[in-house]
Amino acid sequence: MKKVEPQEVSRYWSKLPKTHADALLLYLNGNSYQDVSDELEIPVGTVKSRIFSARMILKRAVVEMLTGDKAPGSA
């Protein structure tokens, strides 16, 4: 299995929409959905949606990076 290098992850992270990256980063730093919602001044449902979308974008990128194949559901 191919090793994922930190710079590769950074490259894909930088391609996330800023709104999604901000929400995911706050959440990964230990904030609750409500905390992220309060910080970004957006509804909790929007926070959950952005975090989910960001995770799926990154997951597809890592799968493609590791296998050279497009992940299911990617364009």
Domains and CATH numbers, the chain: 16-67 (1.10.10.10)
Using left for φ > 0, alpha for ψ between -120 and 50, and beta otherwise, residue 50 falls in: alpha
CB 34 within 8 A of CB 44: yes
11 has pLDDT over 80: yes
Structure confidence by residue, pLDDT tens digits, 18-63: 999 999 999 999 999 999 999 999 999 999 999 999 999 999 888 8
33's CB contacts (< 8 A; 6+ apart) are 27, 44, 47, 48, 51
Distances in whole angstroms, Cα of residue 66 to Cα of each of 11, 15, 25? 15, 18, 23
Residue 74 φ then ψ, to 5°: -95, 155
71 has pLDDT over 70: no
pTM exceeds cut of 0.85: no
pLDDT of residue 6: 79
Structure confidence by residue, pLDDT tens digits, 18-28: 999 999 999 99
